[in-house]
Chain A
Amino acid sequence: MAQMTTNTKDERLVRVGLLRRIFQVPEMGAVVGLIGVVIIFMLSPARENLFLKVPIPAIGRVLDNSADIGVMAVAISMLMIAGEFDLSIGFMTGSTGMIVGILSAVYGWPLAISMPLALIFALSVGFFNGIMRIRTGLPSFVITLGTMFVLRSANFAVTRSVTGNIRVPYIDRVPGYDLMNAIFSYRLSIGGAQFYITLIWWFAFTAFFTWFMLRTRWGSWIFASGGEPAAAKSVGVPVERVKVALFMFVHACAWISGMAVIFRLRSATASQGEFLQFTVLVAAVTGGNRMTGGYGSVIGASLGALIFGLTKTGIVAAFWDSDWFFAFLGVMLLLAIVLNLILRTQAEYIGTTAMGEEETDEEWLEKTPVLQGQDDGKGNPEND
């Protein structure tokens, strides 16, 4: 760091080369990971390579395995950028499904009433999580862990007491099922390939919220709330309002996900979605989002969901031993985290080029610690 003393110019104004600018994109880790996973499965020496043999149905499966995770990953990445997380979203998909199932399939209420009621319930729990987070100042992991257990238990207890079982069947006999099925889980068959409407939801979410995060005032507020809450507050960002709104938003998305499940399966199950919070966490982190907030990307989370869907489809199609699925997933997650860390360390490495001078990629590569294998421990960005 001795060089720094001879050069006190503002490093933010240094013009940098193309390669470095590419490294600075938050989605870079996810893009590299995606390319890696695609290569692994394309080169898979399995006897019958699904992705080469029947590419269109294979794409249909990958997109289906990514889409419902994708919608939630987009939502959770925004909450993560604001520096929070919510563990109760998985069981919320089960709760909303059960509310609609019990009210409509058991008691015969119209969907036009039961579905909004389920949404209101979801929003209320999100509001509760947000308020608890703000009022107590406790980490959102702890608070939402509590909510998660309550929801989990309530899903079983309420359903059991009403139906004597924890499944509600015959949702397809409820009037209005066809319309709702078309909106939430419509299936289109094209030449042997199946495409579900959830992927449109997913694409639309990704596109809209990318714009929202990067081009609207609320988007900037979310980044500011997670990055430097105190500073954000002092310049007038309504940090608390932003966070509560985001908790409500992820629960609204859990409602969408819950509706997609019950209309697709024609039945609701109280245990639905019990691992969803972890799968979306994997997707969001793989996509370059961090638990600490202030940094991340919606597109990254979507790419993370795509990597997850691709891996899952690939493992089933290649007839790999299912015993290894979670180990594979775990290694993939760690790999993604390390890759993101390397890329970010690289991109954030403070150069020694004077203001106004152009730093070429070659100069930058020469100076950076990680790619040169001289990781001195100082190159790591904080927060990780």
Chain B
Amino acid sequence: MRKLFVVLLIAMVTMTLAPLATAQDEGLRIGLVIHSDPTRPFWTVVHNGARAAAERYGVSITFQGSRDALEQAKFVEDLVASQVDGIAVTLANPDAMRDSITLALEAGIPVVSFNSGSNDFLSAGAMMHFGQTEVIAGEGAGHRFSAMGVSKVLCVNHQSYNIGLDERCQGLENTFSGEVERIDVTATGSEDLIGTQSTLQTKLLSDPSIEAILTLNPTIAIAARDAINLERPGEVILGTFDLSSEVLDAIEAGEMSFAIDQQPYLQGYYSVSALVLAVENANTLGGGLPVLTGPGFVDAGNAAAVREGAARGTR
């Protein structure tokens, strides 16, 4: 018992001290807070972009997040209390973040937003936004599906609490010539992929009129690919938002038609860079409009070129 205690104690002290060994000794301190779990693949790329900018500018960053809106707001307030030099937040739920951002502004800390919130960033108090305009990106997907001549697309929403995802389906509806049906898989989402896949399998079986699927993240895309391969292989066209190595594999193997790339690396990179420039040189970017990091399209034509970056965790 006593030995066990000592082992755990050593583990804890090591964990406490290890990250500090690599911490920057000087330079600005910038916090990034997201509306999701930072260890998800997509956010790792954003984090890598933020890290790269932090290294280049010689500043320290911390990257926190939670699916719980209250937790996200609290992370921002934690950063305000510790007097960081700049804060970047995602605005999946702008109302919930408004008070915390106001506190940051009152404390003289500049705030930018990234990823979600291209419509709300100014009213929420953020001075710049780095992301893609979700409606425009969704419209891009609609054009593609129309050009392929399909008549019904299933839009798979895995985070229905995230305004941005609704807007993607909205954009698809705006430009797609046929019928769009939305399906909500928030209950299983990326956390329970087997559950999400089985929901999609059931949907494909029960509705033969579905000719294409649009997923809104690369993890769900793989679940959709597997569902298609099991139930109606080769019959359903698949497109997705965002990239992963597996998505690139699927595109090269012809199992997936395209991926809409919002270039998450740039969102992390430019959030940190813009905050450094705002603090040190009073610069702003975008002129009150969101700075678009997407949509870019990845398909069989350019998948190989993007692959190298995906393997590095930068695409």
Considering the complex, which residues of chain A in the window 270-302 have a beta carbon less than 8 Å from any beta carbon of chain B?
Answer: 270-275
| Complex contact B107–A192 (CB within 8 A) | yes
| Complex contact A264–B64 (CB within 8 A) | no
A8 on interface, CB distance cutoff 8 Å: no
| Complex contact B5–A54 (CB within 8 A) | no
A362 on interface, CB distance cutoff 8 Å: no
| Complex contact B9–A335 (CB within 8 A) | yes
| Complex contact B8–A331 (CB within 8 A) | yes
Q: Mark B287-312, 1 if CB is under 8 A from A, else 0.
A: 00000000000000000000000000
A332 on interface, CB distance cutoff 8 Å: yes
B78 on interface, CB distance cutoff 8 Å: yes
Chain A residue with minimal CB distance to B72? A265
Most B CB atoms within 10 A — which of A58, A68, A334?
A334
| Complex contact B184–A61 (CB within 8 A) | no
- Which residues of chain B come closer than 8 Å to A313, judged between CB atoms? 78, 81
Q: Give the CA-CA distance A318 to B22 in the complex, in Å.
A: 12
| Complex contact A270–B161 (CB within 8 A) | yes
Q: Mark A52-66, 1 if CB is under 8 A from B, else 0.
A: 011001101100110
Q: Mark B63-87, 1 if CB is under 8 A from A, else 0.
A: 1110111100111011111110000
| Complex contact B98–A46 (CB within 8 A) | no
A48 on interface, CB distance cutoff 8 Å: yes
Q: Mark A165-185, 1 if CB is under 8 A from B, else 0.
A: 111011000000000000000
Chain B residue with minimal CB distance to A319? B62
Considering the complex, which residues of chain A in the window 301-335 have a beta carbon less than 8 Å from any beta carbon of chain B?
Answer: 312-313, 316-325, 327-328, 331-332, 334-335
Most A CB atoms within 10 A — which of B20, B64, B82, B103?
B82
Chain A residue with minimal CB distance to B38? A322
Q: Mark B239-283, 1 if CB is under 8 A from A, else 0.
A: 000000000000000000000000000000000000000000000
Considering the complex, which residues of chain B in the window 179-234 have a beta carbon less than 8 Å from any beta carbon of chain A?
Answer: 184, 186-187
Q: Give the CA-CA distance A45 to B18 in the complex, in Å.
A: 11
| Complex contact A167–B20 (CB within 8 A) | no
| Complex contact B65–A322 (CB within 8 A) | yes
Q: Mark A255-270, 1 if CB is under 8 A from B, else 0.
A: 0000001001111011
A160 on interface, CB distance cutoff 8 Å: yes
Partner of B160, one of A60, A166, A192, A323: A166
Partner of B15, one of A165, A166, A327: A327
Q: Give the CA-CA distance A317 to B15 in the complex, in Å.
A: 16
The stretch of B24-32, B111-119, B131-139, B144-152 in contact with A is B24-32
| Complex contact B186–A166 (CB within 8 A) | yes
A358–chain B nearest beta-carbon distance, Å: 27
Considering the complex, which residues of chain B in the window 1-39 have a beta carbon less than 8 Å from any beta carbon of chain A?
Answer: 1-2, 4-5, 8-9, 11-13, 15-17, 19-20, 23-26, 29, 31, 38-39
| Complex contact B38–A44 (CB within 8 A) | no
A207 on interface, CB distance cutoff 8 Å: no
A279–chain B nearest beta-carbon distance, Å: 10
- Which residues of chain B come closer than 8 Å to A328, judged between CB atoms? 12, 15-16
A50 on interface, CB distance cutoff 8 Å: yes
Most B CB atoms within 10 A — which of A44, A53, A335, A341?
A335
| Complex contact A265–B69 (CB within 8 A) | yes
| Complex contact B161–A338 (CB within 8 A) | no
| Complex contact A193–B11 (CB within 8 A) | no
A153 on interface, CB distance cutoff 8 Å: yes
Q: List 28 A-B contacts (CB under 8 A).
A: A47-B25, A47-B26, A48-B82, A65-B74, A152-B187, A165-B163, A166-B160, A187-B99, A265-B93, A266-B99, A267-B96, A270-B161, A273-B68, A313-B78, A313-B81, A316-B62, A317-B78, A319-B31, A322-B63, A322-B64, A324-B15, A331-B15, A332-B12, A338-B8, A341-B1, A342-B5, A373-B2, A375-B2
